[in-house]
Structures are given as C-alpha cells and as structure tokens.
Chain A
Amino acid sequence: MQVLPTKTQKIIDAYLQLDFGDGRRIPCPYFINRPPRRRGSLAVLVGKGRPDEIIEEVFAIARRKRMDVCAMDADDIRRYMLEWGIGIDCSGFVSRVLAEMVCETHAESLFRSLKPPSGLFRRIAFRLNPAKNISVADLASDQNSIVVANVFDARVGDMIVTKSGKHILVVSRVNYGEKGYGMLTYVQSKEQGYVSEGHIILSAPERHLADQNWQKPEDCVPEIEHRRLRVLS
C-alpha cells in the first residue's frame, strides 16, 4: 500500500478535521471567492489558506465581530465559516497538499517548480503570490503535469481532474490487491460541501478511471483526467 509522507498526510488530516480546541473538530468547508474580492485579499480569504491560517482567521474575524469562538460549538463554527467565506477551494486544497509533498519528498518548492500562466500580469501575480493565484488549469496544464494512462500506474499525489478541468482531487492512498484489483483513496474539497475522502475500486485494468467503481458515484463526473505533476513523475 502506498501512503502519503507523514507531514503531507498531516496537512490532509488538518483539513479533514480543523481543530478549534476543546474537542471541536470540523471538516474544512468549501469556499471559492468571487473574482472582485481576490484583489488585495489574504490567501486564506479567497479559499487558498493553510489549515492553521484558516483557524487563525476564524478567530480574527470573530474578534472583530466581538464573538467568542471558544463559546461556540462545532456546528456554530461551521455555520459562521460559511457565512464569513472562510474555507478552501479544490485547487487551493490540492496545491497545499502537493506543495507539502514536493517539499517533503524532493526538498523543493512546488510553486517555484510550476510554470506560471501566460500573460505578464498573471505571471507577476503568480510569482509574487503563487498559493493565491494557482488554479486547476495551472496544475493540470501540460507544462506542469503529465497524463497517467493506466489506472494501475496510479501513485499517491496523483491528481484527478474532473468537470473538464474545473475540479480537482488528489490521490492520498493506493492499494493494489491481487488479480488486478486495487483501491484508490482520494481527497477533495467539494463544491457546496467540505473536505472529504472517497474511494475508487479498481476492477478493470484495461478501462479508464471513469469506468472504475467509484464509491461515491456523484464524484465521478464526465471528462475525467488522471494526471501527475512533472516534479513528482
């Protein structure tokens, strides 16, 4: 069985269970901002923050609003996070996970190793603040990643790009059984939802990923692409 390196797995666990103390743990909600709010904002306010930044920002906003996070239960915190627009979007989540993985396994920066998007201003913005300006298109571009043709070549850290490049998941565990069977575990920040895990049972080696047995069929949307970052390949 392949698993993610320790620190990378910790990042995923932290998103899966944001720890607000006193046993209050909630999965990080999904949030993607509208474009006008992107300018001049913190990465954490546009759905691209690290787990610790997300928790800190919840406390900071609560402080500004004269509210006490310590007095809230987990449901209240989740509700306020949605209300205040604090969460993580799919590309933000995957890029944070992969950044940690690249750092841990290759001792380099994912954001520096990625080719920036075209256009002068986008390029400058990407170089200054990559975590905030990264998108599914950047991760899934041919410059930065390659297509994995065979599902049984899957590795941890692979990306599953869905909705014609509008959504992205990351493979967190790979388990090959005997006689051509296996299971992939993926993690995603799901639209209208939160960071969650899912499984794909690999039962037909000759067929495409979309035709395998998805434990959550709703995650298997058309036009699926299985990719791997060049830096990890």
Chain B
Amino acid sequence: MNIILSQFIVTKSLLFVLVSCAIAFVLAPFVIRFLNRFNITRRTEFDSSMGIVHRQAKAGTPIMGGMVVVVTVIVLTVAFNWEQRFTYVPIGVLGISSLLGGMDDLLNLFGKKRRIRSLSHTLRLSRVHRDWWVRIFMVLTLPWTAFKRFFYVLGSDPGKGIQPHEKIIFQFLAGAITAWWIYFKLGTQWQSIWIPFYGDVHIGFWIIPLVIFIVMFTANAVNVADGLDGLSGGSLVIAFSSMLLLAWMQGNEYFAFLNASAVGALLAYTYFNIKPARFQMGDVGSLGLGALLAVLAIAQNRILILPFIGFIFFGELVSVIAQAVSRRVFGRKLLKMSPIHHHFEMLGWSEEKIVMRFWVVNVIAVFVGVWIAMH
C-alpha cells in the first residue's frame, strides 16, 4: 500500500471530528429530554437480559440515543462533504438502516404483538377452511409463510418490533443498494477485493452477493453488541478511527471526512452512554452505524480487514450463532447466555470490566488489522 498522508486531509478531518463532536454534544441533551418526554425508554418486559439482577436498573433509560450520531453524521456530510461518487450511497445506506432500526425501536415499545402462523397450521387451514378463496390464498402464499417461519425460528424474540423476516428484507435492500453502487456506479476498478500480502483480485459480479452479505452481517453484529453501557459506542469509535486512519493513508478525503464525522459524533454519544447511561443507542444507531461501517470498509477496499476493525462486533455475532447452533444441533449451551458479554456478566464480571476489556481487545485487533492493511 502506497501511503499518501496529506496534511490538508488530516487537518480537515480533525476539524470534522471536533465540529461533529460539538454538534452531537449540543444535540444530546435535547434528544434525551425528547426521548424521556415521549417515554421512549427501556422496558423490562421486552428484554430477556433484564432478568440479570443488576441490569434491572437500566429500566427507564431512554433508547434511540443513536439518533444523535446518525443525525450529526448525515447533516455534516450533506452540508460539507456531499460528493455523489463517494458519500451519496454510504449516507443513503445509513439512512435506510437507521430508519429500519428506528421503526423497530418504536414498534417494540408501542406496537402490537404479532404472531407468525406455523406452517402446519397454514397447511391445515388450506385444507379445511370453509372459504375457498382463503384456501387458495393460503396455498399461494405458502412460500412466504415458510420464509417468515424460517426467520421466526432463527430469531431470538420476535415480540412486538419488526419481525426477523422483515428485518432481513430491509437489510438485504441496504446491501443491494451498496452493491449496485459499487458494481454499476464506481467503475470496474471497484469490482475487485484486496487480499492482504497479495493485492487486488478481480471478482466481477461476485462483489454483489459479497457486499450484500457484509452489510447485513456487520449491521446485525453491531446491533448484537449494543447491550452494555459504552460497549458499542466505544467499539465504534475505535472502528471508525481505524477506518479514518486507513482513509488518511489512502489519501481519500471524502471517506476521511465521513469517518471523522462518525468518530466525533460517537465520542459525544459515548460520553453520555458511559455507565450509568443517560441514553442507549437502540437499533436506530446500531443498525445504521453497522451498515455504514460495512459500506465504508467495502468502499475503501478493505473488506478483509473488517473482522479486525470490528473484532468485538463480529465476536459477539459469532457467539450468538455458535450458541444457536450448539443449542439446536448438540442440545447444550456453549455460553451461559448469548451474546458473549452477557456470559461474562453471568460469570460475575462487572459491566465496566467487560466493556473496558472488550475495548482493549478491540484496540489490539485494530492494530493487527491496520498492520495487515498496510501490506
């Protein structure tokens, strides 16, 4: 990698960090007041982790605090860093994913509980329902019911929010937009992925499914990691800072400024999110920022560095998958509770200890990742 360190980009990026941080700091108290006023707060009945005794103190904490970061990043980028080729789509994906997360947060609080009909029930109805039209409808929509049921089984707690199958569709959409942008709009040089110690490898059309997968995976990974005060905020600061460093080294000012905006806003967010949290990120922030992190890693052609940069997020999601697989296939739990941060809580670690150790691990992984990225 040819390192291009421009003083202009570095200086202006630092300015973006400071301005973004200042805006988020000003915005945060208003958002907290707004969330409290409309009772957009964490409730015990919708959260299985609230069964852990010391977590019950989190009831009543405003959620959707991630709005502060999302709004700050979007406003700053649109106002000072709007370039069709580089920042258009990342902001679009951030917006779509945040919208999805926001809807999920609100429906979890104010929506009605929905039930997914089982396949056997649907098949029975298609045979015995007295109305012929309903029977035909049941048969025609059977694949859709099967799709819904599949993700219902995979999902942990469908509850009242957006159902897992709906989430998957929205996230697929966000991934597809990114893939479309990469494949059709950015030119053929973007259809290759960088392999450490080797260089770029042209993969052509295969970039599309890869991008969709990465966006969906990373968004969900950040979402899963958003379970302890300061964990996702601090880890995202580390992740976006390393992406900022890579953007500096690549000499891409647009990505550098976008990363810098995210870092600044996240610093302010984390200030308010440190235990005891004044607000929590919610899906609005975690899904949006997760998708943004993935899009930037793809756009900066460092997909394979993402597992290092987002080490904590990926580790958390892998722990959830491993727990589900172990449970279903081997009939036993790997962890006392998934994601893995709850496992450590159950082992008696304090929240602060888990969060800080996870930060340290993430920083170490980032150093490894940046070193690999330079080769």
Contacts and interface: CB of A to CB of B under 8 A. Distances in A.
Listed from nearest, the 8 A-B pairs whose CB atoms lie closest are: A63-B51, A43-B331, A132-B331, A129-B331, A40-B328, A129-B330, A64-B51, A64-B48
A145 to B, nearest CB: 23
Nearest to A128: B329
B52 interface: yes
Q: Is the interface of B mostly helix, strand, loop or mixed?
A: helix
Contacts of A41: 327, 331
Contact of A40 (B44, B153, B337): B153
Interface of B: 44, 48, 50-52, 153, 327-333, 336-337
A42 interface: yes
A48 interface: yes
Interface of A: 40-44, 46, 48, 53, 56, 60, 62-66, 128-129, 131-132
Contacts of A132: 331
B331 A48 contact: yes
Given A63-B52, A128-B330, 10 more contacts: A41-B327, A41-B331, A43-B331, A56-B336, A60-B337, A63-B51, A64-B48, A66-B44, A66-B50, A131-B331
A35 to B, nearest CB: 13
Most chain A beta-carbon contacts within 10 A, residue among B44, B50, B331, B336: B331
A42 B329 contact: no
24 contacts: A40-B327, A41-B327, A41-B331, A42-B327, A42-B331, A42-B332, A42-B333, A43-B331, A43-B332, A48-B331, A62-B51, A63-B48, A63-B51, A63-B52, A64-B48, A66-B44, A66-B50, A66-B51, A128-B329, A128-B330, A129-B330, A129-B331, A131-B331, A131-B332
B323 to A, nearest CB: 11
A63 B330 CA distance: 23
B109 to A, nearest CB: 18
Most chain B beta-carbon contacts within 10 A, residue among A53, A62, A66: A66
Most chain B beta-carbon contacts within 10 A, residue among A43, A44, A63: A63
Contacts of B44: 66
Contacts of B329: 128-129
A46 B331 CA distance: 9
Most chain A beta-carbon contacts within 10 A, residue among B52, B153, B327: B327
A86 B331 CA distance: 14
A107 B265 CA distance: 58
Contacts of B328: 40
Contacts of A43: 331-332
B303 to A, nearest CB: 33
Contacts of B330: 128-129
A44 B327 CA distance: 10
A41 B332 CA distance: 8
A163 B52 CA distance: 44
A97 B89 CA distance: 60
Contacts of B332: 42-44, 53, 131
Nearest to B45: A66
A85 B208 CA distance: 47
A43 B333 CA distance: 9
Nearest to A45: B331
Contacts of B331: 41-43, 46, 48, 129, 131-132
A75 B332 CA distance: 27
A56 B44 CA distance: 22
A127 to B, nearest CB: 11
Nearest to B324: A40
Most chain A beta-carbon contacts within 10 A, residue among B51, B329, B330, B336: B51
B312 to A, nearest CB: 24
B180 to A, nearest CB: 37
A91 to B, nearest CB: 14
Contacts of A66: 44, 50-51
Nearest to B55: A63
A225 to B, nearest CB: 28
Nearest to B52: A63
B331 to A, nearest CB: 4
Contacts of A62: 51
A53 to B, nearest CB: 7
A94 B332 CA distance: 19
A205 B75 CA distance: 92
A131 B332 CA distance: 10
A161 B298 CA distance: 63
A109 to B, nearest CB: 14
